[in-house]
Amino acid sequence: MNIGVINESSKIENRAGLSPSGVSFLAEKGHKVFMQAGAGLKAGYSNEDFVALGADIVFTKEEVFGRSDVVLNISPLNQEECALVRENQILFGFHHLAVAKKNIIEELIKKNVTMIGYEIVEDIEGDLPFIGSLSEIAGQMCHVISGHYLQSCYGGRGLIMGGVVSVPPATAVIVGSTILARSAIKAMIGAGAHTIALGRYMDKLKELEEMTSGRLVTLMASQYNLLRMCEIADILIGAVLRPGQKAPVMITKEMVNKMKKGSIIIDLSIDQGGCVETSRPTSLEHPTFTEEGIIHYCVPNITSSVSRTSTKVLSNLVVPYLLQIGELGIHETLRRNRALCCGVYMYKKNLMKKNIAERFDLPYKKFNFDEEEKKPE
């Protein structure tokens, strides 16, 4: 099987689709890996690092798509990249179709691609391996980002997270009770912040409280409570996650207007549209903007700023799936591997996710992977 990794640095994406270690696993099983030149540079890997472990370096995206059965990307494909996709290719990556453009979806359906989204791969226990691993990273980063932008020189309130003797700690309010929220909660409590979490489900809030041994304040995410907590927050973290769906707006502009000037919003849901009404996507080059006196940090590919760690995690997760596809083929792999099956957006010219089909008014068909493919008569 031929596997391609494109260079996405033009999209301000620092992560690579595979690490050199991942390449070595695939090469040992006889698979060819085509790395576009420079794909790993921002993650700290040279072209030579990949070549030494069995990869072939190619110099254009056209060649990667032209020679590969499977293409690995990190950020969603843009219009130019979609035009390079070949018939029947398998596409792995963070696709976020819930916030994609309709014409891109239609073009890929016509090409009969199998599209697998890292963000919706889900195992039988209900865990999201890709999202879970990167959420752990993103949560830890909330501590660093908050501490940075709360400084006076960046327009913040001039606070430190944990406080000092006679001065109380900063107040961190986290909206959501998902795996993304859990990681942010751990980071904020670990940094010494007074931490409050708001969620919609009692059982989830109970789990969070038990996880933190009672150090976390929990509230139901009613409009009343959200407004009250926005008024006292120094740090507001939006961590609402609905795999494969657009994030609901939980924090309205009215609530943002009630926040203290110089406080910071980190919208971790921005990959899926954002859960704060005033949010809009930013980039690692220009990560923040200020609205109503509130600093907004809304970088979709937030873990790209720790690209080496993120690349290793993503590579470790995707390689076993690639090896299984190489051994069994895509149909049999999807039939046997329920986690990967959950991650399928498109297969055999059909959208496999009803919510995506309804959002864009496109046909939807639930394919039964337990049925054997019918052979032509």
CA angle 350, 323, 54 (to 5 degrees): 120
Residues 242, 245, 246, 252, Cα dihedral to 10°: -30
The residues, any chain, with a CB within 8 Å of residue 204's CB and separated by 6 or more, are 177, 178
Going through 263-343 in order, the beta strands assigned E by DSSP cover 264-267, 288-291, 294-297
Helix, coil or strand: residue 14: coil
Q: Which residues, in sequence order, are bridge partners of residue 58? A: 36
Residue whose C-alpha is closest to residue 236's, from 248, 244, 226, 246: 226
Say if residues 122 and 339 touch (Cβ distance below 8 Å): yes
CA R_g for the chain: 22
**CA distances from residue 161 to 45, 97, 246, 301 in whole angstroms, order as listed:** 34, 36, 31, 24
Say if residues 114 and 91 touch (Cβ distance below 8 Å): yes
Which amino acids are annotated catalytic? Answer: 96, 271
